[in-house]
Amino acid sequence: MQKQGRHNWVVLVPCPFQGHITPMLQLGHALHSKGFSIVVAHTKFNSPNSSNHPDFVFLSIPDNFSHHINPFEIISGLNENSKETFKECLAQFMEKHKPDDRVSCIISDIALNFLDDVAKDLNVQSIALSTNNASFNLALSGIPRLHAQGLIPVQDSTLQDLVPELHPLRFKDIPVSSFATLEEFLEKLSKSKRSSSAIVWNTMELLEQTSLAQLQQHYQCPFFTIGPLHKIVPSCSTSLLKEETSCISWLDNQAPNSVIYVSLGSTAFVDEKALIEMAWGLANSHQPFLWVIRPGSVRGSQWIELLPEKFTEQIGDRGCIVKWAPQKEVLAHKAVGGFLSHCGWNSTLESICEGVPVICWPCFGDQKVNARYLSTVWGIGLELEHEVDRGEIERAVKRLLVDEEGKEIRRRAIELKERTEVSTREGGFSFNSLNALVEHILSF
């Protein structure tokens, strides 16, 4: 692919959030295995751990972000204010590596539309990576139409109604952002369409064939569906938080398919009421549980000091609470029978790949779309209908781990896992799509 001593660089630019950084770095490892040299241009905010990826070059780009800023504000700030900073940094890198090396392309998170202009100015090709699934992007593209038809803002009376042309989504599932106003959100949406030469999707045709076909008409550029990326590439640590592996020893002492694993991801926050309702729901289910409570994720609390004393006494050794877990290893463990999840796309894919059914408690963004597909299309999820309720959590855990209904859901989850394995093996759709992406990059 490249001559001895020469480099064929691919520049990766992730959004500075765990759910976006992880698949971007996984894509980098996939391309590195095909002979490309990888440089990661990233913000100082939430910067990835370069020591976990010794074969990559990391370029830190100055920023003024803090952990207290809304994620949507960070993405807007990058798109509006970072073009010149990124262009200068990448131009210096390219100048330093001339004339022997070349930059083949810039692959950036699909939310960072300013990178298309940077690539054009630097005379290199631009490719977008969607770290969300196709169905979420399809729902986003439908929001202006729904607004023009007077169906958005959504009325309380229509929350449960199906959305025209976006089956199976209900109006309550539509991912209207947390911008200050709908008008501001629509304005951002109108500027978000990419002009990239291709889009890479961390998904599978077998999951989203219909949504991908509809989006193909919207974008009109080559698509490469190469997910789940964590199954395409060798295992590598991409976590921004320290993983507590002690929970694996605890799982080793539990019966097969008996444990409910609970994690709401790397960005969600809950209040004290939600924490206590979840705690008693888990306790009253009388099932063993592994619960990830991220430090600072409970408003008004550093970690678990708001948990009732009686709760701690009642659960004894039946519960294991950690600050962060090695999630892929946890989901692959034979003791885990279900996952109470926020339904972020990475967590959703990891569940599918390990055949673990999901209790869906979505919080924001793409999570409500993912939860709807898990429960109604793929048939491997149970959706919590209320904001948070101990009785509903108790019933959902029992339905999944104890009742006959759970056995049928688990059967479908195992079947989907097996189909995923076929797609990612040599000759499978995702495997072939990665090779097609490599050929596309080499054609530049």
Pairing of strands 37-43, 125-130: unpaired
- pLDDT in the model for residue 3: 44
- pLDDT in the model for residue 130: 96
Q: Is the pLDDT of residue 71 over 60?
A: yes
Average pLDDT over residues 320-341: 96
Q: Is the pLDDT of residue 15 over 80?
A: yes
Classify residue 62 by its DSSP letter: P
Element (H, E) at 223: strand 223-225
Average pLDDT over residues 322-328: 95
Residue range 360-392, pLDDT digits in tens: 999 888 999 999 999 999 999 999 977 789 999
Structure tokens at 109: 């998170």
Confidence bin at 300 (pLDDT 50/70/90): confident
Q: Which residue has the higher pLDDT, 262 or 306?
A: 262
**DSSP string for 129-188:** EESS-HHHHHHHHHHHHHHHTT--SPPGGGTTSBPTTSTT-BGGG-----SSSHHHHHHH
User: How confident is the prediction for the chain on average, in pLDDT?
Assistant: 91
Confidence bin at 177 (pLDDT 50/70/90): low
CA 427 to chain centroid: 26
Average pLDDT over residues 85-103: 90
CA distance 379 to 375: 5
Confidence bin at 67 (pLDDT 50/70/90): low
**Does the N-terminal peptide bond of residue 357 adopt cis geometry, omega within 30 degrees of 0?**
no
Confidence bin at 138 (pLDDT 50/70/90): very high
Average pLDDT over residues 16-36: 94
Average pLDDT over residues 122-129: 96
Residue range 145-171, pLDDT digits in tens: 999 999 998 899 999 999 999 999 999
User: Cα–Cα–Cα angle for 158, 159, 165, nearest 5°?
Assistant: 80
Q: Is the pLDDT of residue 70 over 80?
A: no
Q: Which residue has the higher pLDDT, 349 or 267?
A: 349
- pLDDT in the model for residue 180: 60
Residue closest to 411 by CA, chosen among 349, 360, 329, 356 = 356
Residue with tokens 């202006």: 144
Q: Is the pLDDT of residue 26 over 90?
A: yes
Torsion of CA 38, 43, 49, 53, to 10 degrees: 0
Average pLDDT over residues 1-21: 81
% of the chain surpassing 90 pLDDT: 71
Confidence bin at 1 (pLDDT 50/70/90): very low
Average pLDDT over residues 394-406: 96
- pLDDT in the model for residue 305: 86
Residue range 211-264, pLDDT digits in tens: 999 999 888 899 999 999 999 886 677 787 888 999 999 999 999 999 999 998
Average pLDDT over residues 201-218: 94
